[in-house]
Structure 1
Amino acid sequence: MTDEILNCTARDSSTGKPIVVMGVQGCGKSTVGRQLAEALGMLFEDGDDLHTAEARAKMASGHPLTDADRIPWLARIAEGIAESVGRGEPMVVACSALKRSYRDLMRAVAPTLMFVELFGDQALIAERLTHRNHEYMPPTLLDSQFAALEPLAADEAGVRVDLTNTPDDIVGRVLEFLHT
């Protein structure tokens, strides 16, 4: 796989654009998001921390979230992003942001938001999930996440990066994109 640069207008991290690192479970969103935030001197937030207890329980029982479950969660994330931009402290957030409509909702609240999509083979991600123990996200939900996934489109600000790269390499590629 190769990386895909989308809507590749010149970017500069000093402009303070918030970033969502997105993708299915097990793709490395939190790891890459933390490293990217550190490299950019930005705050980091893991969107998983903003799920309600009910949503966590639903996922832990093996049931995927519906759009109705996700919309309030995405709105909380987007509001937090917009608040951080308003304070002059834009952040990097790890959030699945699987569907275009979810990303549109987030951009409606935080218009300068850009996305970093970590993409890769479902079998590889499934194998990775066998080596981790997530508090409430069982590996059995991976199929539903891939079914819902709508990759970044050419008109969306962002970059798709192959998750077979190391986290350091992924962050390096994103930094190159931001400074193009």
Structure 2
Amino acid sequence: MTATPIRILLWAPTASSRSLIAAGLAAALRAQVVDGDELARRVAHDRGLWLRALGYALSDSAAVVVATAPLARTERDALAAAVAGLWWVELVDVEPVRAPRRRRGHVDSDVAQPMQPLAADESGVRVADDAGLDDVVARVADLYRRGHQSLR
């Protein structure tokens, strides 16, 4: 029996430590991590090319966690149709907790993309970013493992 592919897309507002949380989650699940912001830079911020690059990154490996800026529901639907077994993690901002992790001088680049929360019919979880980095990573990893029993 083969293991279920790990295909997780984690999104949160800019300066929320989403890349750190994704890296921690990838380590906990023995997956590789991809920075969606870096993919956006590589395709000159062309949103259509960026979404295709996200799809390729999610499909190219048996175990991957991708961190990215918030996605519109239509964009999530397109990715879910293109990537079998995709699981979403929406980090819900809790400002006082994440403030110490914020990068100094970081400009919010997500302003143009309104936040559309994960809906009940989407596969994944909304997780409060309300604790230390290790605690948030452990919570998300635990939720993923409970929903995916055939992991290696």
Query: Scaled by the length of structure 1, what TM-score is found?
Result: 0.69
DSSP-derived class of the 1:159 partner: strand
Task: Specify the alignment match of 1:161 in structure 2.
Answer: 127
Counterparts of 2:17 and 2:31, CA distance in 1 = 18
Q: 1:101 aligns with which of 74, 87, 95?
A: 74
Counterparts of 2:13 and 2:34, CA distance in 1 = 17
Counterparts of 2:59 and 2:84, CA distance in 1 = 9
Larger helix proportion of the pair: 1
Task: Specify the alignment match of 1:144 in structure 2.
Answer: 112
Task: Specify the alignment match of 1:178 in structure 2.
Answer: 144
Percent identical among aligned pairs is 32
Task: Specify the alignment match of 1:72 in structure 2.
Answer: 49
Counterparts of 2:132 and 2:138, CA distance in 1 = 10
C-alpha deviation, 1:96, in angstroms: 1.7
Larger strand proportion of the pair: 2
Counterparts of 2:41 and 2:145, CA distance in 1 = 36
Contact residue 98 and residue 151 of structure 1 kept, 8 A: no
In structure 2, relative to structure 1, the CA distance for the partners of 1:172 and 1:129 (3 Å cut) is closer
AA matched with 1:132:
R
Larger RCO, structure (CA 8 Å, separation 6 or more): 1
Task: Specify the alignment match of 1:44 in structure 2.
Answer: 33
Deviation track 1:63-121 (CA, whole Å, cap 9, x = no partner) reads: xxxxxx3222011111121121xxxx220010124211111111121121101111125
DSSP-derived class of the 1:18 partner: strand
Consecutive unaligned residues in structure 2, runs of 5 or more: 147-152
Consecutive unaligned residues in structure 1, runs of 5 or more: 1-13, 56-68
Say which one has the larger Rg: 1
Q: How many residues align?
A: 143
Contact residue 14 and residue 110 of structure 2 kept, 8 A: yes
Task: Specify the alignment match of 2:63 in structure 1.
Answer: 90
AA matched with 1:144:
A
In structure 2, relative to structure 1, the CA distance for the partners of 1:71 and 1:40 (3 Å cut) is same
Counterparts of 1:97 and 1:125, CA distance in 2 = 19
In structure 2, relative to structure 1, the CA distance for the partners of 1:130 and 1:44 (3 Å cut) is closer
Deviation track 1:45-66 (CA, whole Å, cap 9, x = no partner) reads: 11111124633xxxxxxxxxxx
Note the aligned Cα RMSD (angstroms).
Answer: 2.4
